[in-house]
């Protein structure tokens, strides 16, 4: 075997390597490699330094991150603040954090608060209950008051009717026309009121139903006073005699339609222009404010509104008081040529057979001025406030009235028929909650139908009579409805039914005719200026000695 010089070197290196491995794995060597305390401290210091450095790096990183999200953080903080603020608004301001903390900390205070809240709610419920109870009691009181008022009203209505029945039973019917009386009582029916039927030319009373009310208890004339105001306005020149318009006073309607529809403003303006003293004097001439002279006891003279300048006295009759007899005398004087007759009941057979007409001093108003109100009276019956149930073929002319007098509604209708030669004067006055002038006119219409066999219209063409009336077309109802804003019965216009043609009175004065005589100043005495003129008639119709010829 050949010897190699490198072989010993390899063996030596292997031995060295084996020795190194054995030494490293032995316990002694491991004990020798355990770190010392100093090394450990150094290692901890290094670790702390590394941790500090890492923390610094992290803080810097967090700072950078915080700077980047500052806007987002501020927005989030603001949003959170708004949310807290809204929550605080929704909650009771008293329930703030401190109070909440206090309640949580002090259960006694919380219990007291709950008790206080409970008492407040109970008090609120009690007050609400009291209010409801008070309202209920007030409602009951009102309902009771209404029931009592209705009961009083009903009792008052029954009292009026009972009084009417009693008065009618006590009427002195001696000398009356019992057939006419029966017709008047039947027409009045169950209404409270009175009826006067009189001959318009002579003053002979055919019947007075409820003489107590018709002669002894005067009442407010309501719109029937417009006849007096109209006559005064025409004679004083305030109303144009031709077309019935008021001079220098604006008004849509003339005299005819203002009477037919009872237009209050028209007559208030006219009466105010004429003045209180003059209007009162015209009323006295037409028979108001003094006894008629009828042969009944305790007749009332009525009342005139001395010193009252309220315009309502010329349209509503305020402060006037009249009787049914006085109204019958007034409409008779207007339509019979100006004769103010004295109504009388013929008590004996001699008076029945030979009735004597008594006439007071003749009215000093020219006839054309006095009769100027007749077309309006015809219009009231044909197309105005008195048209209901009226037989227009009978030639009825009249004036309605509606107002409150003697604590109740009053309905009046003063009329004559036929207008060409008036034979009858019929006056109806009713009282009650539902009574108006149209109701009184309906009663009069029924009476006229009973009297119709004795009503003969000798000349229906009034244009051929001494009235010198001319027909014209009927009024436009819509125009009247707009004009009569405060009329006695505006609803009568709105219901339509304008009726037949109406009539106006043109001027009949010539150029040589004297101007209308004006009235003298009112005197303090109510006695007639001249003694009454008595006109008597023989059976043959011839006039007696020293007596003017008259109508039978």
Tell how many helices (H) and how many strands (E) occur in the chain.
Answer: 19, 9
Q: Does pLDDT of 356 surpass 90?
A: no
Lowest model confidence (mean pLDDT) among 249-253, 260-264, 420-424, 488-492? 488-492
Q: State the average pLDDT for the chain.
A: 78
For residues 403 and 317, is the Cβ–Cβ distance under 8 A? Answer: yes
Asked if residues 459 and 465 have their Cβ atoms less than 8 Å apart, the reply is yes
Virtual torsion, Cα 205, 211, 216, 217, nearest 10 deg: -120
Q: Which of the residue ranges 72-86, 408-422, 473-487 has the most confident prediction, judged by mean pLDDT? A: 408-422
Among 147-151, 232-236, 462-466, 478-482, the minimum mean pLDDT is found in 462-466
Other CB atoms within 10 Å distance of the CB of residue 426: 31
pLDDT of residue 506: 36
pLDDT at 326 over 90: yes
**Residue partners of 467: CB distance under 8 A and separation at least 6:** 371, 374, 505
pLDDT value, residue 41 = 60
User: What pLDDT is attached to residue 307?
Assistant: 93
pLDDT bin (cut points 50, 70, 90) of residue 459 is low
- Whether residue 114 has pLDDT greater than 50: yes
Q: Where are the chain's structural domains?
A: 96-170, 174-509+516-535
Residues 6+ apart with CB under 8 A from 463: 469, 470, 471
Of 59-68, 347-356, 528-537, the least confident: 528-537
pLDDT at 26: 54
H/E element, 535: strand 533-535
C-alpha distances (whole Å) from 399 to each of 226, 230, 415, 472, 497 are 8, 12, 7, 20, 18
Mean pLDDT across 450-477: 62
DSSP state of 401: E
* Nearest CA among 217, 230, 212 for reference residue 266: 230
Most distant pair of Cα atoms in the chain: their distance = 221
Using alpha carbons, list the distances in angstroms from residue 516 to 275, 376, 415: 18, 21, 26
Q: d(Cα 407, Cα 157) in Å, to the nearest integer?
A: 11
How many residues in total does the chain contain?
552
What's the whole-number mean pLDDT along residues 400-406? 94
Average pLDDT over residues 347-356: 87
pLDDT at 251: 72
Q: Is the dihedral of CA 456, 460, 462, 466 positive or negative?
A: negative
Q: Name, in order, each residue with C-beta under 8 angstroms of 526's C-beta and a sequence gap of 6 or more.
A: 284, 289, 290, 301
CA distance 211 to 294: 11
How many CA within 13 A on the CB side of residue 58?
Answer: 6
Alpha carbon 422 to its chain's center: 39
Residue 338: strand, helix, or coil: coil
Give the 3-state secondary structure of 152-172: HHHHHHHHHHHHHHHHHHCCC
In this prediction, residue 350 carries a pLDDT of 87
Using alpha carbons, list the distances in angstroms from residue 381 to 94, 416, 437, 451, 478: 82, 11, 12, 17, 19
Task: Give the CATH number of domain 174-509+516-535; options: 3.40.1280.10, 3.40.640.10, 3.40.50.970, 3.40.710.10.
Answer: 3.40.710.10
What's the whole-model pTM score?
A: 0.66
Question: For residue range 130-169, what is the model confidence (pLDDT) as tens digits?
Answer: 999 999 999 999 999 999 888 888 898 899 999 999 999 9
Separation of alpha carbons 220 and 383, rounded Å: 25
| pLDDT value at 475 more than 60 | no
Q: Are strands 397-405 and 357-359 parallel, antiparallel or unpaired?
A: unpaired
Statement: residue 478 has pLDDT above 80 = no
pLDDT at 33 over 80: no
Q: Each residue of 504-516: pLDDT tens digit?
A: 333 333 333 334 3
Task: State the pLDDT confidence band at 79, using cuts at 50, 70 and 90.
Answer: confident
Sign of CA dihedral 522, 524, 526, 531: negative
At residue 413, does pLDDT exceed 70? yes
């Amino acid at each position: 075997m050949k010897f190699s010089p490198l072989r010993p070197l390899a063996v030596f290196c292997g031995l060295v390597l084996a020795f190194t491995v054995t030494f490293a794995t032995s316990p002694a060597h491991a004990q020798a490699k355990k770190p010392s305390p100093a090394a450990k401290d150094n290692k901890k210091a290094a670790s702390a330094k590394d941790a500090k450095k890492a923390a610094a790096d992290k803080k810097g990183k967090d700072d950078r991150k915080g700077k980047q999200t500052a806007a987002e953080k501020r927005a989030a903080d603001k949003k959170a603040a708004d949310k807290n603020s809204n929550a605080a608004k929704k909650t009771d301001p008293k329930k703030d954090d401190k109070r909440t903390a206090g309640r949580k900390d002090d259960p006694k205070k919380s219990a007291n608060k709950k008790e206080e809240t409970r008492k407040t709610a109970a008090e609120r419920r009690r007050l609400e209950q009291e209010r409801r109870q008070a309202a209920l009691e007030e409602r009951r009181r009102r309902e009771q008051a209404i029931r009592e008022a209705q009961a009083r009203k009903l009792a008052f209505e029954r009292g009026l009717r009972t009084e009417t029945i009693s008065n009618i039973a006590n009427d002195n019917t001696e000398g009356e026309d019992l057939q006419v009386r029966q017709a008047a009582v039947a027409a009045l029916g169950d209404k409270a009121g009175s009826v006067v039927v009189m001959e318009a030319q002579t003053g002979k009373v055919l019947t007075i139903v409820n003489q107590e009310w018709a002669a002894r208890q005067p009442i407010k004339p309501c719109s029937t006073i417009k006849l007096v105001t109209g006559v005064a306005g025409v004679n004083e020149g305030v109303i144009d005699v031709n077309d019935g318009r008021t001079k220098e006073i604006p008004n849509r309607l003339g005299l005819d339609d203002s009477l037919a529809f009872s237009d209050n403003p028209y007559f208030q303006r006219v009466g105010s222009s004429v003045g209180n003293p003059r209007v009162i004097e015209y009323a006295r001439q037409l028979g108001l404010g003094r006894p008629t002279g009828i042969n009944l006891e305790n007749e009332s003279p009525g009342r005139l509104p001395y010193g009252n300048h309220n315009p309502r006295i010329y349209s509503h009759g305020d402060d006037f008081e009249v009787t049914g007899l006085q109204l019958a005398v007034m409409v008779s004087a207007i339509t019979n040529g100006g004769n103010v007759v004295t109504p009388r009941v013929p008590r004996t057979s001699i008076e029945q057979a030979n009735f004597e007409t008594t006439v007071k001093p003749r009215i000093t108003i020219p006839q054309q001025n006095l009769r100027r109100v007749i077309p309006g009276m015809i219009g009231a019956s044909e197309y105005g406030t008195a048209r209901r149930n009226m037989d227009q073929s009978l030639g009825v002319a009249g004036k309605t009235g509606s107002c409150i007098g003697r604590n109740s509604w009053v309905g009046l209708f003063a009329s004559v028929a036929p207008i060409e030669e008036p034979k009858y004067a019929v006056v109806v006055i009713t009282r009650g909650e539902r009574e108006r002038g149209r109701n009184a006119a309906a009663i009069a219409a029924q009476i006229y139908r009973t009297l119709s066999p004795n009503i003969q219209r000798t000349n229906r063409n009034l244009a051929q009579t001494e009235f010198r009336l001319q027909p014209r077309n009927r009024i436009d109802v819509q125009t009247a409805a707009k004009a009569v804003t405060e009329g006695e019965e505006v609803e009568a216009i709105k219901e339509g039914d304008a009726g037949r043609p109406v009539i106006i009175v043109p001027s009949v004065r010539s150029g040589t005719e004297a101007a209308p005589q004006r009235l003298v100043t009112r005197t303090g005495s109510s006695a007639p200026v001249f003694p009454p003129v008595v006109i008597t008639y023989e059976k043959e119709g011839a006039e007696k000695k020293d007596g003017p010829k008259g109508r039978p």
